[in-house]
Amino acid sequence: MTKIRFGIIGCSNIAKSSTIPAIINSQNSELKNIGSRNTEKAQDFANEFNCKKFGNYEDVLNDDDIDAVYISTPIGAHEEWVKKSAFAGKHILCEKSSTTSFSSAQKIVDICNENKVRLMEGFMFRFHPSHKKVKEFLGNKTLGKIFSFYSRYGFPPIPKNNIRYDHSLGGGILNDAGCYPICASRILFDSEPESVYCNLSIDKSFKVDTKASIGLKFPNGIFSQSQVGYDLSYQSVYSIWGSEGFLQLSRAYNVPSNMHVDLILESNTRNEKIEINPINHFELMINQFSNELINPGNSSFDFERDLIYQAQVMDAARLSNKEQRLVRLDEIK
């Protein structure tokens, strides 16, 4: 294969604004088919992106010219369509959060392994070079012994008829945004937390979590603390504090492709602002996913292993909120 031929499962806003354009613009992928529950919507997307084939989800999965699918259905439907895609022999890039439970994550990874297809959770932010630069500072001990990671990720009000307010579809701030700082701290510290504490604020009318405070305890005495929520001024930042210094990113998660990121470093030996040039992290994600399918073994991380550990931490957070206690990660099995 020289290019990965993509089909689209779900005509979401993020598919339209970011992922489909990234597939088209990537040198090692191409758009071949667009599927939606609403065929008219699929046709509208196909017209906009000059895609010849469109239809429903099954039409995409039955297309022999498709190597991989991008799934951007509501979170609550991810398991169903990941399984169907795996049975159809399609590799899978699945929007975050991959599932609503750890047991579901284990199930879909097992099915993908059995059907010899790859499965990656679509955290596009992890491919932005700003995080690689942060890891360089952590690796060379510029910040000394790390004490804490702190993050804020929140959004202005969104319409109450949005799927994020539908519990049956996997809505809620933890699945939608809390997954980001959890993933970021796992990446930066290159380890899994030992324990999790999470407190969710529940909207009584919609029965979904709208704000969350998430605490993770990592090995070597490192703590991660994150606040996420709806109905807030927009925030997308994180900072790291150590014995020898402090750093923060001006934009941590969803970074527009025309926006530069400032990494601000304050240490005992230097103070500087490093500007990370604009780049499209959706294209970087598509590039790495496609490259791994074309030349296996070259990815910077194990897709399926990462998805499993991410889901385990997410489930620990859910249990912590439910039982209002600290949950050790090894309790989630």
pLDDT, position 259: 98
94, HSE (Cβ side, Cα atoms, 13 Å): 33
- The angle subtended at Cα 122 by Cα 228 and Cα 6, nearest 5°, is 150
Cα 150 from Cα 135, distance rounded (Å):
15
* Distance (Å, whole) CA 115 – CA 118: 9
Least Cα distance to 28 among 307, 207, 218, 292 occurs for 292
Q: Do 259 and 216 form a contact (C-beta atoms < 8 A)?
A: no
Q: Which domains does the chain have, with CATH numbers?
A: 4-122 (3.40.50.720), 126-284+311-331 (3.30.360.10)
Percent of the chain with pLDDT over 90: 98
Q: How far is CA 70 from CA 6, 87, 101, in A?
A: 7, 15, 20
**Rounded average pLDDT over 105-115:** 98
- 257: exposed, middle or buried (Cβ count in 10 Å: 0-12, 13-18, 19+): middle
72 pLDDT higher than 80:
yes
Q: What are 6-50's pLDDT values in tens digits? A: 999 999 999 999 999 999 999 999 999 999 999 999 999 999 999
Helices (H), 151-246: 173, 179-189
59, 13, 89, 17: which is closest to 257 by C-alpha?
17
* pLDDT exceeds cutoff 90 at 1: no
Contact 279, 118 (CB under 8 A): no
Joined together, the tokens standing for residue 56 give 């429903």
What's the pLDDT tens digit per position in 167-202?
A: 999 999 999 999 999 999 999 999 999 999 999 999
Tokens 């809505």 found at: 171
The pTM of the full predicted model, rounded to 2 decimals, is 0.97
